[in-house]
Structure 1
């Protein structure tokens, strides 16, 4: 009994130490992000893109997991439709790497002006999904723990549930210009707060996300100081 108690105590102490270390890393993480935001003046959204599409009606957003990938013909038509819409509203895409992380890379570009911070964005989104399970699990048609485990993996495609979680976690209105036949534009709002920023994405339906800017204003990506985020 005593030996068992001591081992449990040691295990508890180790677990507590691990928890403290994890908490410390989380604090450093958030402090680093705050520092990046403070240093970068161009994070502030001037609302120009929002004004450009202000006359469009956004359908109520219902989070959902990804649907079936369209066949080649449908995908081609969808891409043409999206390209026409972007041209109509004088929008341009920053091309995001197609490695399965495109949604998180596009969000990282909009949040931190660096798609390479996608691992940090994914981590925060999964944490949001885990800690506020009751908010999201009704939109997930598979076992929720399996869904979380899947979303933790690099290369796993983000969906409209992760977009909602990102809006909630980062306090952002996520504006998505889509290739959907019947829906040009979707706004995803935080559930419990007023948004403090706007993030602009394009969505080639069930295929790819890119980061959106006004035409002629796509930023160049000069090498930046590397921050510990992961």
Structure 2
């Protein structure tokens, strides 16, 4: 009986793994189509903050989470900045995947391809270790294996890897008191697009749009959308 039970469990586990892999492949295919569809950006958000001088970006891992009082003040500061510059946040789920969801929304107009984004970023980290390991104060293999797990918070190293992988200038409007605007640019190629994210510092990322272009009634894309 135990042998039969174990065999059945193995089949179930294998089936689940195949299904999960197929989901990732489906997301990858749809993401490629959407990336082509939305590759040309009008730069409306950039025009809103064109007078701001970005600070140099230094990749780093997450080091601390602000306490509730500081987090609340930071959120108020970010909200004020969004209002001043006429920007709109597409809010993504705070499930630990928010950075990857926000990047997905900017690339594909949907946060639902975050698994594909994470997979591509981790591949970039693995394939080009020499570009990033100096910013990671732990065993590098342990770092990228941890970052491959769903729900693991992205950091400024993964943002740099995303900028490099997708040939994108990633622009952050932040809640930092002294640092309103950060640009992350590809290291060895000119950027082909701009991605705009809000950063409630060390807590959450969202996707940014010009208020006039706000996707107020966007519906989630389904996997059957292409067919």
TM category (shorter chain) comes to 0.7 to 0.9
Query: Structure 1: which 5+ runs fail to align?
Result: 1-21
Equivalence for 2:127: 131
Query: Structure 2: which 5+ runs fail to align?
Result: 1-20
1:113-124 map, 5 Å = 113-124=109-120
Q: Distance in 2 between matches of 1:226 and 1:188?
A: 31
Equivalence for 2:53: 57
1:219-230 map, 5 Å = 219=215, 220-226=217-223
TM-score by length of 1: 0.82
Larger Rg: 1
Deviation at 1:49, TM superposition (A): 1.1
Q: Distance in 1 between matches of 2:171 and 2:144?
A: 24
TM-score by length of 2: 0.83
The answer on 1:95 being equivalent to 2:101 is no
The answer on 1:67 being equivalent to 2:63 is yes
Deviation at 1:114, TM superposition (A): 1.1
Pair 1:27–1:94, CA change in 2 (3 A): closer
SS at match of 1:57: coil
Aligned residue-pair number: 203
Q: Distance in 2 between matches of 1:181 and 1:198?
A: 24
Structure 1 residues 66-102: Cα deviation after superposition (integer angstroms, max 9, x where no partner) = 1211001100110011111111101111111010000
Q: Identify which of 131, 138, 143 aligns with 2:139.
A: 143
Deviation at 1:37, TM superposition (A): 3.1
Q: Distance in 2 between matches of 1:203 and 1:47?
A: 19
CA contact (8 A) 2:26 2:223 kept: no
Deviation at 1:47, TM superposition (A): 1.1
Pair 1:27–1:191, CA change in 2 (3 A): farther
SS at match of 1:176: strand
Deviation at 1:215, TM superposition (A): 1.3
Deviation at 1:33, TM superposition (A): 3.8
Equivalence for 2:154: 158
